[in-house]
Every structure is written in structure tokens, then in C-alpha cells.
Amino acid sequence: MTVLRAGIVGLGVMGRNHLRVLKDLDGVELTGVYDPSLSGTNNLPGLRVHTSLTSLLESNLDYCVVASPTAFHLDIGLQLAERGIHALIEKPLAADVASAEKLVTAFSTRGLIGGVGHIERFNPAIQAMRSKISDGLLGNVYQILTRRQGPYPARITDVGVVKDLATHDIDLAMWVTQSSYTSISARTAMRSGRPHEDMVIAVGTMENGVIVGHIVNWMSPFKERTSTVIGDNGALVADTLTGDLTYYANGRLNSTWDQVSVFRGVSEGDITRFALRKVEPLLTEHISFRDAILARSTKGIVCLSDGVSAVRVAEQMLSQA
């Protein structure tokens, strides 16, 4: 296998997770990292800590992971493209649609592979959900409901909950339904004293008629990551914290207990929790991106244009709110 030389820009919480995975990824040599907070130090044994972004970009990289704050994605991404370096950029792709579109142009005109770190697509529960919907398990899909909430992560300061967290669910809904939003409306709240929204409830409609609901916040003392898809034949519920996928089938038996049947819509059927091969989503994402570079194809990754779509819907959420 060809060995690709990789680097990382930004070593916050997510950057260090990328580092952990890349250090042991077959076919990849992690050659160096850059984070201005680490300038002049070398607390990563066996790995070169560059003192400038230019130094890292001049180290003969094949590709680079951008895990810096969102505000810097455009500038770093453009520098990578100018030097012919493929890039996996953490979500959201950029701070706004105009910046995200500039990144698409910069990479596509140079024939470079650009990916976005919408990691939920690589969760075993979501991948199995997409496969089973494609196989017709649910029949026609009617509705998608997502709940993504938990305590505020102190490391996020440059965007609100819509662009940081809701973009996960926006991309997930488009990928699972293989459709785009035709409308989205939302209500946001700022309850913590920070300059960005920390709560949002959004509802939308997809081109194929599926209706969508998203509940996202940083104000919950418990963590929840669930996605429910309802269709003709029942419902699929994915828990991306545990990687579990459960199928609730519509019942095929008529109920003779009138007091129960009156209060239930479709009847309850069998419940199945699927046995899935659970691989860490970040590892699956990196394997897919490595293979995309080698194949010179964006198949199997979240491409930059998908990242633009997620940012566009997020901005529509905020403008509607």
C-alpha cells in the first residue's frame, strides 16, 4: 500500500482524537502537527511539532486534517489547496456559505480531494440505518426526528449550537433521505450569557416530502444523541452514543382490547435491536478518506459540496429564527 504523509492543524480535543487515530492508521505516516498554543514545545514524543503553519505545509504532506476553530478553516484550507495538499476539514466546513463555496472551488479546480468531518455518517448505527432504509425495511419514509443535547463544551467559542451541533443532524437527514431541504424554520434561545445561541428547535421539509424535526442544545445536564426515522412499516431508532440501531415494526395482529386500540395509532409489532459490527466512527472516517485519496474519488466520504449544503441550511435556520 502507498504510504500517505499526513499532518494536523489544531490540537484541541478533536485534533488530539485525530492524532490518536492517525498515529496507528495503516498506509498513513503522521509526520507533524501545528497548533500555535504548542509553539516552542515538544510534548508529543516521536512527532514533530511545527512552529508555524508554513513549516508544516512545507513538509511534503499528501494531506492534512484541519481541526482548528471554524473561523480559520477558509484561510488554512486555501493555503492547503494552493500547495496541492488534500484536506479533511472538521465540520462545519466554514463560518458561512460564501467561505465554504470558496473552499469547494479551490479544491475542485486543482483536482484535490476535500472532505468534511461529519463524523455521524460513519457511526455504525447510522450506516446500518441508511442501508436498511435503502433495502426497503421501512417502506416509504415519512419523518425524521433528531435529538442532540448535552452540557456546553467550553472549547467552542466561535459559533453557536446551530453550526457546531445541528450541522451533524442536517447532514444526517440529507444523507439518510438522499434528499435536500426545501424549507426550514427554527426557534433559538440564548440562556447561558454567551454571544451565540445555545438552544434550537427546527422543523423542515425535504424535497421528497419527508418532514424533519431537530432538537439541539447545550443546556442539558445529560447527553443524548438519537435519530428516529418513521415510515410505512415502522420506525428505526439510532443511538449514536452507543452505536445501537433498533427497529420497531408495525403490528400485524388486530387488537381486541378496545381500551388499548383506541389510544394507539398503528399497532405495536416486534422490536429488534440489530447486532452491528461496531468500529469507532473516527477510524472509519479516516480509512474512507485515505482510500478516497488513493482512488482520487470522493465516493465514501462527506465531500466539500455536502459541507456547503449543511452550512447553507444552518444559516437558513438562524435567519428564520
More confident residue, 192 or 68: 68
Q: Of 106-110, 158-162, 182-186, 235-239, where does mean pLDDT reach its minimum?
A: 158-162
Sequence ranges of the chain with CATH classification 3.40.50.720: 4-119+283-303
Sequence ranges of the chain with CATH classification 3.30.360.10: 121-279+312-320
Contacts of 236 (CB under 8 A, 6+ apart): 129, 132, 133, 137, 138, 228, 229, 245, 246, 247, 248
What is the chain's mean pLDDT, rounded?
93
Q: Does domain 4-119+283-303 have CATH number 3.40.1180.10?
A: no
Q: What percentage of the chain has pLDDT greater than the value 90?
A: 83
What is the pLDDT at residue 208?
Answer: 96
Q: Is the pLDDT of residue 70 over 90?
A: yes
Cα–Cα distances (Å) from 266 to 208, 228, 246, 259, 261, in that order, read: 23, 16, 18, 14, 9
CATH architecture of 121-279+312-320: 2-Layer Sandwich (3.30)
What is the pLDDT at residue 262?
Answer: 58
pLDDT, tens digit (0-9, with 9 covering 90-100), for 219-228: 999 999 999 9
pLDDT, tens digit (0-9, with 9 covering 90-100), for 266-314: 778 899 999 999 999 999 999 999 999 999 999 999 999 999 999 999 9
Provide the residue type at 73 as one letter. Answer: H
pLDDT, tens digit (0-9, with 9 covering 90-100), for 13-24: 999 999 999 999
What is the pLDDT at residue 260?
Answer: 57
Residues 30-66: b if buried by 16+ CB within 10 A, e if exposed? bbbbbbeeeeeeeebeeebbbeebeebbeeebbbbbb
Residue 50 to residue 170: CA distance in whole angstroms: 35
pTM: 0.91
What is the pLDDT at residue 214?
Answer: 98
